[in-house]
Amino acid sequence: MVAVDRERGHAVLVSHSGNCFALIPSHVAVKDEVSLVSALPQKNGLGQVFWRDADEDLALAYVEGDLSVECGLTWRSLSLPLGAVLAEPTPGSLVRINFGGVFLDRVAATVFDADNTHFHIALEGGLAEGQIESGVSGTLYEKGNVPLGIALSAETNTTARFLRLDHIHSLLDGILNGRGPAHPGSNLISPSEDSLGYRLTGRVVETDDGLRGLEGETRWHWSGEPIVLEFTLSNGDPVPLDIIELKSVGLDDADSTAPQNISVTVDVGTPDAPFWRDISAPDMPPTGELTINTGGTFARRVKLKINTVWDSGRPVSLSEIILR
């Protein structure tokens, strides 16, 4: 649970494939860049909004800064069906940040009027113990440590409307796993316009910054099939490879998209006996920068396979590949 833009509202943090994201009511994320701060001990972060749905009143932001290290909920945990828990008569808790002392505050509340996408809560006790105040949007409701939803609005001093987390999971799972466009309605490039095809093979060029595989931005039509880029570091024995840096235009370009899931394999064998080994890598965030630490390996070749992208309705872009 974090505060958004001081006291404007709240957001819930979730981790997915090595990255941290914030679930924010869209009306709270007034701008596409928001400040985030946790309760004591305070940690700060920055959220870059890259998807929003005004009808659902939901925005998704990529989180950078200290907050991204301890990101809270896992994305997989949001997939659990919540109907049975919501139907239980036992009260739960509204979890929010008390802006006066910047600490987490829990107020007892009971669910009423739940459907497949939303539910409502009523606070227990009198107004002095639990008045809903300004900034409630984005707060979390949970029962027995099971998170159930985020607040969209306060309807009265003692009731609020929430968006179910399992519904949020169904809305966003395709985006976070590369199965759907982040901006519905964007146009595909036809294959005939794609002069680069789906495979790029070449020898990297040595510079003062390391070995570069691309100079300038390169785009490919995204057909849903993986794009494979293979680079040769040495025609003889393997050479040291510590870091792979990948850059895309990310959120700065509305006409292309960053890769999302990228498989990395390296050939650690010899010219006569190639041996490909997997390198673990998190997803590239939608902002378009990814650094992969190989753990200090030796390699002759590097193979990058773009498996998914953030917006399947746009060309996928890479502007830089650096091998150090």
Asked whether residue 134 carries a pLDDT value surpassing 50, the answer given is: yes
Average pLDDT over residues 90-112: 84
Q: Residue 126: which CATH number? A: 2.40.10.120
Residue matched to tokens 């409307």: 161
Q: Are residues 155 and 211 in the same domain?
A: no
Nearest to 123 by CA among 138, 134, 133: 133
Q: Are residues 169 and 219 in the same domain?
A: no
Q: Are residues 50 and 20 in the same domain?
A: yes
Q: Are residues 22 and 150 in the same domain?
A: yes
Q: Are residues 122 and 207 in the same domain?
A: no
Reported confidence tier of residue 17, pLDDT bands at 50, 70, 90: very high
Q: Is residue 41 in a domain?
A: yes
Residue matched to tokens 């997939």: 79
Average pLDDT over residues 237-242: 90
Reported confidence tier of residue 252, pLDDT bands at 50, 70, 90: confident
DSSP tally for the chain: helices H, then strands E: 3, 25
- Average pLDDT value for the chain: 83
pTM: 0.81
To the nearest whole percent, how much of the chain has pLDDT over 90? 53
pLDDT at position 200 is: 35
Asked whether residue 33 carries a pLDDT value surpassing 60, the answer given is: yes
DSSP code of 19? E
pLDDT tens digits, 45-70: 999 999 999 999 999 999 999 988 87
Asked whether residue 100 carries a pLDDT value surpassing 50, the answer given is: yes
Final residue of a domain: which of 118, 150, 177? Answer: 177
pLDDT tens digits, 150-190: 999 988 888 999 999 999 999 999 999 886 543 333 322 22
Q: Residue 218: which CATH number? A: 2.60.120.260
Q: Give the residue, 272 or 211, on which the prediction is more confident.
A: 272
Q: Are residues 77 and 46 in the same domain?
A: yes
Q: Give the residue, 96 or 210, on which the prediction is more confident.
A: 96
Q: Give the residue, 101 or 54, on which the prediction is more confident.
A: 54
Do 105 and 135 form a contact (C-beta atoms < 8 A)?
A: no
Q: Which of 27-36, 61-70, 94-103, 147-156 has the lowest mean pLDDT?
A: 94-103
Average pLDDT over residues 17-30: 94
Q: Are residues 127 and 235 in the same domain?
A: no
Greatest CA separation for the chain: 78
CB neighbour burial string for 79-101, b if at least 16 within 10 angstroms, e if fewer:
eeebeebbeeeeebbbbbbeeee
* DSSP H or E run through 167: helix 165-176
pLDDT at position 154 is: 87
Name residues whose C-beta falls within 8 Å of residue 153's C-beta, 6 or more positions apart in sequence. 136, 137, 160, 161
What is the C-alpha separation between 52 and 182, in angstroms, rounded?
Answer: 8
**Please, which residues bridge with residue 141 across strands?**
94, 149
Do 258 and 250 form a contact (C-beta atoms < 8 A)?
A: yes
Order the strands of the 320-323 sheet from edge to edge.
Answer: 205-207, 210-212, 320-323, 239-247, 289-299
Q: Is residue 312 in a domain?
A: yes
Q: Are residues 253 and 204 in the same domain?
A: yes
What is the C-alpha separation between 142 and 178, in angstroms, rounded?
Answer: 29
DSSP 3-state assignment of 256?
coil
Q: Give the residue, 179 or 214, on which the prediction is more confident.
A: 179
Final residue of a domain: which of 177, 208, 243? Answer: 177
DSSP code of 284? P
Final residue of a domain: which of 150, 177, 204? Answer: 177
* Range of the structural domain that residue 133 is part of: 1-177
Q: Is residue 182 in a domain?
A: no
